[in-house]
Every structure is written in C-alpha cells, then in structure tokens.
C-alpha cells in the first residue's frame, strides 16, 4: 500500500514524497483513514514506527477542509499535548514540515523560556498548538490561550500524560475543551490501569495495536551485564573505549547521577554531556544539539530523553540505572533501532536492580540475554540495598513492586526521588523574583494584613 491509497490530499502527498517516504508504516495505514473519518483513536505501536506522521498528516488535512469552509480570525482547532519540552518542539517541527505548503499556523509553548514571545504568537492566531501541560495552563490563566473551540485533542505519549504526575493538569485541560471533539491517544506502551483510564476519555474509540502490547522493536538487540553498583562507571568506560562507540545515549535514574556520570566519563577522555529537568532549556537544547552533531560521544540523560526523541541512526543505548517502571524500559531502548535501522541496548544491572529486571522481563514476556565481562564479575558477598521507586508504583499499580516497605530508604538525594516528569514545566513560577517584584508582594501583604506583615 502507498500513501496515495490513504485518502490524503495532493499537497500532503507531495510533501511526504519530498521527505523521502513512499510506503506508509502499519500504524500509519491503520490510523490515517480512521482519523480522517473523525473517529477517536487509541493507538499503540513500537517506537520509531512513524506515529507522529500518523496523526500529523490527517490532522493537517482535516483542518484544511474545515479552513476552506470557514473564515475570520484563527482559533486553536487542534491541541497536541506532550510530556516533555523536547518532544513538544519535535512534534511542532513535524507539523511545520508536513504543513509547509498549507495556509495553517502552528506554534509550540513550553516552560523554561520566556513566555512573552509565546503570548505574541498566540495573540496573532494559530490553528495548531503543541504544548506541555504546565505552560499551557499558564497561558490559560493569562487568557492568552482559548481552548473553547478545539476540535481535535491529541495526547502524545499518552500513558505518561495520564499517570499521576500529569493527570490533574490533563483533567483541567480537558474540562476547558468542548465536549464534542475528536480524541487521539498515541503511545508505545499502555499499562492496563492507564488503558482503563484512557478509555474513559474516548468516545467509542478505534483501538489500533500494530504489535504485541508493551513490546520492544525486533531491530534492537538487548543484553544485560551483571556488575557491582560501584563498578558500573568503570565498566561503561571500558565498553565504550574497547568497542570504539562514538554515539551512546546513557540513561540514569537521577539528575545528580546524570551530572556525575557525565563528569566522570569526560575525565576518562570520553566527551560527554548531561540533559535533565534541572537544566535550563537553553542548556538542554545545546546538549541535544551537541550530541546530534557528534560534538560529544555520550549523552547522559534521565527519562526526559526516553519519550519520543528521534535521534537519527543512534546505534547504542545504555541503561546505567534500570528503570523502576517496566514500560519506561521500552521507551528508553526505543531511541535506537528506529526507521528500519538496527540498534543495541545494553543494561548494567547490579544486585539492587534484580527485581526491576524481572519486572521488565515479565512485561516483555522474554528473557534478556545476560553476561558478565571478565574482570567485572559481581561480588557475591555484596548485599542488595533498596532503591526508591517513582511514586512507589508497582507494575500492577500497587504500592510495591516486590514486597518492600514504602518506607524504604534510598541512596538518592531528596530532589532526585521523582523523575523529570514531576516538573510540569512551570519553570517561570520558580524563577528568582526581582527586588521590584519582592517589594510589590511585600506591599500587598501589608495592605492585606497590616504593618506587621513582612
């Protein structure tokens, strides 16, 4: 089947051809006609299989058809919500690429950057808005984003959008939308709990699953190296050097751990940089750009980079720390083995993480090959230590993954106990206040409570 058989317009077909695509992927074959027919969708497909184009192309066509029927000021007709700033920027770029020859306007809003430029773009009128939840609500509170005329809502990486970190914001956003609208939910993974919650947002949805639920791409070879926790960095440096890896994406559990590992690798002569939620948006963009340009060999990241980022022909992904949520493993290793290219996923597992590994293998319904490199075999005398799990959420939604108390102590700092996704992009709210702002707030308190207020 070709794109010509999916009902797309000539303008879009020409753009698709210019991008070098001729044969649609399975998720695109199933999703595009359903979206054009205005059906609600819950779509699941492996990472790197073209989900973004699968909803972007029919979205643009629908808006063009409605645009030709109406006139007047532009209003937000399509809203795309993503969990991270990087993914929001990437999705907006895809919208701009495929809609380059169409008279539609789009923009992206997320935290960590000035809100003023975003306000000006929104006030000029847009048809498509890509946003992270926190910054979107900031604009709603400022009356610079009117969601009352949205016809199409898309939740990209929907399983993350509907977990406890984002759910309150998503519920508020949905309450601001018209009740009659088209809802599209896409992700590589859906746990049973998230799936039940998602079905409550959809109206008689078409469920599209082009691969077994929660599975990794067959193009990604997976292997586990057993190693002591204190020797992980040493082993990683050895593997990168001996195998002469030039581009490696490494995942850590915490932000401070990402910084520390990047510094250690750099000292070993392996050019590295880190990306996580405590970095400014400028620093995050710079780090990602350096990695894509191969100015650095290693990008050390928290799960902020596990969702939707498309780094072309990335050959290697390393789990320096195993994810405590099994579905996150699929998203992490899905950064490689994309667009038909093969990739390799290496996991460094210490005794503390055996339970996490078992949960991942149970979800994937497979045993990942295991090995120990000579000279780096684990010390059998070392005892396991508990690791704090995000939200203490087990695989089946329980408070415990495998029987440990909720009061387990961890080896991470207090600020690192939650992933980057706990930061819902309201960065401006946490910026230091100027002396003038502080004096204004102090005067307000005095007016309200009297002279004794400070």
Distance CA 377, CA 368 (A): 18
Of 55, 27, 217, 22, residue with least CA distance to 130:
55
Are residues 228 and 133 both part of a single domain?
no
Q: Residues 359-404: pLDDT tens digits?
A: 999 988 899 999 888 999 999 999 988 876 544 444 333 333 333 3
User: Order of strands, edge to edge, in the sheet holding 152-156?
Assistant: 106-109, 128-131, 78-81, 152-156, 182-187, 41-44, 206-209
Domain count, the chain: 2
Are residues 171 and 235 both part of a single domain?
no
Are 32 and 54 contacting, i.e. CB atoms less than 8 angstroms apart? yes
CATH (domain of 122): 3.40.50.300
Are residues 131 and 235 both part of a single domain?
no
User: If DSSP codes are grouped into helix, strand and coil, which group holds residue 77?
Assistant: coil
Q: What is the pTM of this model?
A: 0.71
Q: Is residue 433 part of a domain?
A: no
pLDDT at 225: 96
Are 262 and 295 contacting, i.e. CB atoms less than 8 angstroms apart? no
Are 189 and 44 contacting, i.e. CB atoms less than 8 angstroms apart? yes
Are residues 141 and 278 both part of a single domain?
no
Instruction: Match 């022909």 to its residue by tokens.
Output: 313
Q: Residues 2-48: pLDDT tens digits?
A: 898 999 999 999 999 998 888 899 999 999 999 999 999 999 887 77
Instruction: Provide the residue range defining the domain that includes 166.
Output: 3-209
Q: Is residue 450 part of a domain?
A: no
Are 287 and 273 contacting, i.e. CB atoms less than 8 angstroms apart? yes
Q: Strand runs (DSSP E) across 229-357, as ranges?
A: 248-251, 272-275, 298-301, 316-319, 343-349
pLDDT band at 49 (very low <50, low <70, confident <90, very high): confident
Are residues 205 and 224 both part of a single domain?
no
Q: Residues 130-180: pLDDT tens digits?
A: 999 999 999 999 999 999 999 999 999 888 888 767 889 999 999 999 999
Q: How confident is the prediction for the chain on average, in pLDDT?
A: 83
Distance CA 134, CA 169 (A): 7
Q: Is residue 396 part of a domain?
A: no
Are residues 199 and 252 both part of a single domain?
no
Are residues 19 and 125 both part of a single domain?
yes
């Amino acid at each position: 089947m070709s794109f010509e058989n999916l009902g797309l317009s000539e303008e879009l077909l020409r753009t698709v051809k210019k991008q070098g695509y001729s044969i649609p992927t399975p998720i695109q074959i199933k999703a595009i006609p359903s979206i054009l027919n205005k059906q609600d969708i819950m779509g699941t497909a492996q990472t790197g299989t073209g989900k973004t184009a699968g909803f972007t192309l029919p979205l643009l066509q629908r808006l063009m058809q409605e645009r030709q029927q109406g006139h007047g000021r532009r209003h937000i007709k399509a809203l795309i919500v993503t969990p991270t700033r990087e993914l929001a920027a990437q999705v907006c770029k895809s919208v701009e690429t495929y809609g380059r020859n169409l008279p539609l306007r789009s923009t992206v809003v997320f935290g960590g950057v000035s809100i003023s430029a975003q306000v000006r773009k929104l006030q000029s009128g847009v048809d498509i808005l890509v946003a992270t939840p926190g910054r979107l609500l900031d604009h709603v509170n400022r009356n610079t984003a009117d969601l009352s005329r949205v016809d199409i809502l898309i939740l990209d990486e929907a399983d993350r959008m509907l977990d406890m970190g984002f759910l309150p914001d998503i519920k508020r956003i949905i309450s601001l939308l018209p009740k009659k609208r088209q809802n599209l939910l896409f992700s590589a993974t859906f746990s049973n709990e998230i799936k039940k919650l998602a079905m409550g947002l959809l109206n008689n949805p078409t469920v599209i699953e082009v691969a077994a639920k929660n599975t990794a791409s067959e193009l990604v070879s997976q292997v586990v190296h057993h190693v002591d926790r204190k020797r992980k960095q040493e082993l990683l440096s050895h593997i990168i050097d001996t195998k002469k890896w030039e581009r490696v994406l490494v995942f850590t559990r915490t932000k401070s751990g990402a910084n520390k590992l990047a510094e250690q690798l750099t000292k070993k002569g392996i050019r590295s940089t880190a990306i996580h939620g405590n970095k400014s948006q400028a620093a995050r963009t710079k780090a990602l750009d350096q990695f894509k340009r191969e100015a650095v060999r290693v990008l050390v990241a928290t799960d902020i980079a596990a969702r939707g980022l498309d780094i072309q022909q990335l050959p290697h992904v390393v789990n320096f720390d195993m994810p405590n949520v099994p579905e996150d493993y699929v998203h992490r290793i899905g950064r490689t083995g994309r667009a038909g290219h093969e990739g390799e996923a290496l996991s460094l597992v210490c005794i503390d993480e055996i339970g996490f590994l078992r949960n991942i293998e149970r979800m994937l319904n497979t045993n990942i090959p295991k090995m120990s490199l000579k000279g780096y075999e684990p010390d059998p005398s070392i005892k396991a230590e508990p690791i704090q799990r995000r939200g203490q959420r087990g695989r089946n939604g329980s408070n415990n993954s495998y029987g440990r108390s909720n009061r387990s102590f961890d080896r991470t700092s207090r600020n690192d106990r939650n992933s980057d996704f706990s930061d819902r992009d309201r960065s401006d709210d946490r910026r230091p206040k100027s002396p003038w702002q502080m004096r204004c707030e102090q005067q307000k308190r005095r007016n309200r409570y009297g002279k004794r207020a400070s």
